[in-house]
Structure 1
């Protein structure tokens, strides 16, 4: 399935709910991404779920909406990210 064929529900379903994208990250001078232990204030660290998920972009405009196009370009998404894995698999097909 190419990324153009994911509908919104399918795309959202690819998220493995790890919550790693909701933690602050730092890029060092060598371009390496360092994950911090500081979560977004709206992340429930026990469930790894966003407390305001359905209104997150309105309440917290800094929240990044992960689209197939954006996921392909982001260096800070963890390699185990469900979105990244699905896109890599789709490109192999």
Structure 2
């Protein structure tokens, strides 16, 4: 993780000095590291509430870039795609990836060194092995009843 002590004497970056609800829309969007994990279909146990991650991706996820291919108009194709907002983040914490910047900052934790805002490079999330780049299958290719065959552990990086 990023070490705030190593930055001693340097001005805090926007995510270090602002609460999530104080960020501009551009700052909020910049927090997304591009891992693609939030775009994976999940299975929730009705009894325990436990959420299992699958490698079955939303039809709009570009497996190569780990970005939504139709982000601005995604609700036209996937009406139930969740819009994460500062006011609703607490409702979605149970399924957000463990490495997610929104989760980390909400919990008062720093971003990882591989996060593009820290590293200054968009590809470090992939280089670190945290993203789903080239690891997914499309939901068009897997029947709903077969999703359990595609349960994975969340990539945490190396």
Q: Would you say same fold, with TM above 0.5?
A: yes
Q: Is the 8 A contact 1:71 1:77 kept in 2?
A: no
Q: Deviations over 1:8-31 (max 9, x none)?
A: 000000011111110110111311
Q: Deviations over 1:17-75 (max 9, x none)?
A: 11111011011131111011110000011210110011112332111101112222211
- The answer as to 2:45 corresponding to 1:48 is no
Aligned residue for 2:130?
A: none
- The answer as to 2:60 corresponding to 1:31 is no
Aligned residue for 1:14?
A: 31
Runs of 4+, deviation exceeding 3 Å: none
**Alignment partner for residue 98 of structure 2, among 74, 79, 84?**
79
Q: Is the 8 A contact 1:26 1:36 kept in 2?
A: yes
Q: Is the 8 A contact 1:14 1:86 kept in 2?
A: no
What is the alpha-carbon distance in structure 2 between the residues aligned to residue 26 and residue 59 of structure 1? 21
Report the RMSD for the aligned CA atoms in angstroms: 1.5
What is the alpha-carbon distance in structure 2 between the residues aligned to residue 60 and residue 27 of structure 1? 19
What is the alpha-carbon distance in structure 2 between the residues aligned to residue 62 and residue 20 of structure 1? 17
- The answer as to 2:119 corresponding to 1:68 is no
**Structure 2: where are the runs of 5+ without partners?**
1-17, 110-158
TM-score (norm 2): 0.53
Q: Which structure has the bigger radius of gyration?
A: 2
SS at the partner of 1:26? strand
